[in-house]
Chains A and B, each alone.
Chain A
Amino acid sequence: MCLAVPGRVVKIEERDGTRMADVDFGGVVKEVCLEYLPDLQVGEYAVVHVGFALQRLDEESARQTLELFESLGMLQEEFGDPWELAAEAGGTPPPKREEARK
């Protein structure tokens, strides 16, 4: 959770009066809130934490950090299935998948 990952803005739009973006984290695209960096533009990079862009980054340092995180398996930790990770940590099978409950 503490991990803040650099990502690249690929699309920006207003949703319910809030400035939101689709952000690409080395292949995984997530919805990110831009309210704390409202002038961020498509193509720019930012440090993103729990779905919020918190600070601008230049492309080169963003790319390097992403490559490092990927090589260390940290992107899997951040974006992988949390129930499976928790089950593995506890040595027990994961409960029913969330989709089944909706």
Chain B
Amino acid sequence: MKYIDEFQNPDLARRLLDEIHATVTRPWALMEVCGGQTHSIIRHGIDQLLPEQVELIHGPGCPVCVTPLEVIDKALEIASRPEVIFCSFGDMLRVPGTGRDLFRVRGEGGDVRVVYSPLDALTIARQNPDRQVVFFGIGFETTAPPNAMTVYQARRLGVRNFSLLVSHVRVPPAIEAIMQSPSCRVQAFLAAGHVCSVMGVDEYPELAERHRVPIVVTGFEPLDILEGVRRTVAQLERGEHTVDNAYPRAVRPEGNQAAKAMLEDVFEVTDRSWRGIGMIPGSGWRLSPKYREYDAEHRFSVEDIRTSEPAECRSGEVLQGLLKPHECEAFGTLCTPRTPLGATMVSSEGACAAYYLYRRLDISPAPREATSVV
């Protein structure tokens, strides 16, 4: 229990843990959807403090991890052009495309810049009217509204040398795809708190009912996660499957209406391929026809780039909760944060990186039967 010292409020953490231990009567598998939650769980050893019967399965909620290789390759192609200033969040710099990454493109002379906000990219476009400025628009429902606002502002201000390379993804279709998989072991979801800050919880009751899974909106701090687990396990033990909000300080049931309205104006739902998982119907956004002129794929004619993944990388299984990172043969040997095979290792929010950073490599693998698909 050494990790408990790191908790903000060890007494409260202890009480939550005691209650979870007292409630559990049989094994349950919960999936935390968000990569930020995965890191908090591994960093604090929360999975090791929970009763043995409660297994946390890491979900596909890391935007950097699930961005498909072909989109990374499109980014590398566009960023290499002399007329382009390519703007990105910092955590995309080391994501491997085919043979290189954005960091390397910069080293080769490409004008790659890191911005804190997509609006910074728009400012760069206004300061450089003779260059093409492209922003790499990836992420879930939390990141999509800022990117939508930036395109809206570009149009409003008449900035024509700005475009978005867009690869946004949506959580509910991913939950649907996970539940439909024949190998699915997930019995409940800890929903991603900040996604729900934007979207609210409207999309979840139907999913919870149809698949008979509790969905508990959960925050990121250790105590938030323990509270999410406590409420989820209580539902499972009672045989219930409702949507519950364990993160009310940042999530209103209706979400952020202004952000949702902007999403509806700028984007339209589309099928999207997820790195390591493949196509999930209706799981993404692309620019709506009204904003097509701001679509970088169209502007730079890279729509047809197609690539394939390294065969040794099993990040797809990790992203679907079918394999724990350290069970992959390449983990820590062929694949490390310095030589990543797949995005789950390179992204600071990826499950493989979390295990590499916070768990020593001599961690003994879980017995196969505990993780094999049922």
Measured CB to CB, the residues of A under 8 A from B are 1-4, 16-18, 30-33, 35-38, 47, 49-52, 54-55, 57-58, 61, 64-65, 67-68, 72, 77, 79, 82-83, 85-87, 89-92, 95, 98, 101
Q: If the complex has contacts A36-B259, A91-B338, are A82 and B93 also in contact, measured as CB distance less than 8 A?
A: yes
A46 to B93, CA, bound (A): 28
Of the candidates A17, A18, A55, A87, which one forms a contact with B197 in the assembled complex, judged by CB atoms under 8 Å apart? A55
Which residues B337-353 have CB closer than 8 A to chain A?
A: 337-338, 346, 348-349
A36 touches B338 (CB 8 A): no
Residue of chain B at shortest CB distance from A30: B116
B221 touches A1 (CB 8 A): no
> 13 A-B pairs, CB-CB below 8 angstroms?
A1-B91, A2-B139, A4-B194, A4-B197, A50-B116, A50-B143, A51-B117, A51-B146, A54-B197, A54-B198, A54-B259, A83-B103, A86-B94
- Chain B residues closer than 8 Å to A83, beta-carbon distance: 90, 93, 103, 114
B221 touches A18 (CB 8 A): no
**Contacts A2-B63, A36-B256 supplied; 20 other A-B pairs, CB < 8 Å:** A1-B90, A1-B143, A2-B34, A2-B139, A2-B143, A4-B194, A16-B157, A30-B117, A36-B258, A36-B259, A49-B142, A51-B116, A51-B146, A58-B249, A82-B91, A86-B93, A90-B94, A90-B103, A90-B338, A95-B106
B149 touches A52 (CB 8 A): yes
Residue of chain A at shortest CB distance from B113: A98
A82 touches B114 (CB 8 A): yes
A32 to B120, CA, bound (A): 10
- Chain A residues closer than 8 Å to B116, beta-carbon distance: 30, 50-51, 79
A86 touches B103 (CB 8 A): yes
- Chain A residues closer than 8 Å to B89, beta-carbon distance: 1, 50, 82
A57 touches B250 (CB 8 A): yes
Residue of chain A at shortest CB distance from B91: A1
B107 touches A54 (CB 8 A): no
A92 to B103, CA, bound (A): 10
A68 to B35, CA, bound (A): 18
User: When A and B form their complex, which 3 residue pairs have the shortest distance between CB atoms, in order from nearest?
Assistant: A51-B117, A82-B90, A86-B93
- Chain A residues closer than 8 Å to B249, beta-carbon distance: 57-58, 61
A63 to B139, CA, bound (A): 26
Residue of chain A at shortest CB distance from B117: A51
Whether a CB of chain A sits under 8 angstroms from the CB of B64 is: yes
Q: How far is the CB of B336 from chain A (nearest CB, A)?
A: 10
Measured CB to CB, the residues of B under 8 A from A are 8, 34-36, 43, 61-64, 89-94, 103, 106-107, 111, 113-114, 116-120, 139-140, 142-143, 145-146, 149, 153, 156-157, 194, 197-198, 221, 249-252, 256, 258-259, 262, 337-338, 346, 348-349
A91 to B348, CA, bound (A): 15
A68 touches B90 (CB 8 A): no
B197 touches A47 (CB 8 A): yes
Q: If the complex has contacts A35-B149, A90-B338, are A72 and B197 also in contact, measured as CB distance less than 8 A?
A: no
Q: How far is the CB of A49 from chain B (nearest CB, A)?
A: 5
Q: If the complex has contacts A2-B34, A16-B157, A68-B221, are A49 and B258 also in contact, measured as CB distance less than 8 A?
A: no
Residue of chain B at shortest CB distance from A83: B114
Residue of chain B at shortest CB distance from A3: B36
Q: How far is the CB of A53 from chain B (nearest CB, A)?
A: 9
A31 touches B117 (CB 8 A): yes
Residue of chain A at shortest CB distance from B89: A1
- Chain A residues closer than 8 Å to B262, beta-carbon distance: 36
- Chain A residues closer than 8 Å to B63, beta-carbon distance: 1-2
A58 to B247, CA, bound (A): 13
| Central interface residue in A1, A30, A54, by most chain B CB within 10 Å | A1
A67 touches B156 (CB 8 A): no
Q: If the complex has contacts A58-B249, A61-B249, A98-B113, are A37 and B256 also in contact, measured as CB distance less than 8 A?
A: yes
Of the candidates A18, A64, A89, which one forms a contact with B8 in the assembled complex, judged by CB atoms under 8 Å apart? A64
A64 to B338, CA, bound (A): 33
Of the candidates B114, B157, B250, which one forms a contact with A55 in the assembled complex, judged by CB atoms under 8 Å apart? B250
A33 touches B43 (CB 8 A): no
A71 to B114, CA, bound (A): 25
B118 touches A50 (CB 8 A): yes
Q: If the complex has contacts A54-B256, A54-B259, are A49 and B146 also in contact, measured as CB distance less than 8 A?
A: yes
